[in-house]
Amino acid sequence: MSWNYIFGNEVGTSHLRAGTRCQDEVAVAVERTADGRDVLAIFVCDGAGSAAQGGTGAELAVQASLDFLAEHATRQDFELNDGLARALLGTARKAIDERGAQSETAVREYACTYLAVLSADSLGTMVIQLGDGGIVVDLGEGLRCLTEPMNGEYANSTRFLTEAGYLEIAQTRCVGTRVDRAAIFTDGLQSLGVDQATNTPHDPFFYPFFEALESTSLSKDEDHPLQGAFSRFLQSDQVNQRTDDDKSLAVAVWMAAEPPIESQGSG
């Protein structure tokens, strides 16, 4: 048993008109623990549009998190708990702080959100949310959100990893059950994926992705067979008519399959 997943992002139409880059970053990895369990890890960060280096901040946060997990997953005391959540957040923030110091740029110019889900058989599931966007999981009883999108002080604003007290701002949830299905997305897809009044997942949005993954076999030596269709969906008029923002989405399922394709980032 292991994980099958797909992920990607596409630049928003407003960014295309302005000639600016995609400021989202998304990555998925599967790390093996010392006792042979496969840990799914999804990290999604969205650079603040008001920050000059928001996209760079998102890249730094995701890469630092991937590196930290790769180093720590094989330790005998590895657990999915609040301590790990704080360590991941701290590692991501440190990477931004160091880049700001090196470039003599204020840390706020690297502002980004931070979302993550980690899950493994017998270890349970941990989710982190700092900012907007969403995390949807199925723990065997249907889709649900364990955290809520964060709104800032003003309309269309949110909270960021670069804020003072970011560890206290972040929402962390740990449960003893491995996810069967998981999805993370930035706020560009928030209105499509979640009923924002009730913070409940819109099942018809997610189930086609989950069902497609569950019926697809993988090869380590090839691109994911669904990647083309996945990217076309994120670029489609169907999506762009609902949002002009950057769009990032990662979807994963637990299944009997060949090991997943090698992890990589997308930015």
Map out the domains of the chain as residue ranges: 2-253
- pLDDT, residue 192, reads 92
**Does residue 260 register a pLDDT over 50?**
no
Would you state the pLDDT for residue 256?
59
Q: Which of 163-177, 190-204, 213-227, 251-265 has the lowest mean pLDDT?
A: 251-265
Instruction: Give the pLDDT band of residue 12 (cuts 50, 70, 90).
Output: confident
Q: How far is the C-alpha of 65 from the C-alpha of 90, rounded, in Å?
A: 9
Is 211 a residue whose pLDDT tops 90? yes
pLDDT value of position 259: 43
DSSP H or E segment with residue 62: helix 54-72
**Predicted local distance difference test score (pLDDT) of residue 30:** 96
Give the global pTM.
0.91
- Residue pair 190/263 in contact by the 8 Å Cβ criterion: no
Give the model's pLDDT for residue 262: 44
| pLDDT the model gives residue 251 | 97
**Contact (CB, 8 A) for 145 and 134:** yes
Q: What pLDDT score does 261 carry? A: 45
CATH match of 2-253 with 3.40.50.300: no
pLDDT bin (cut points 50, 70, 90) of residue 217 is confident
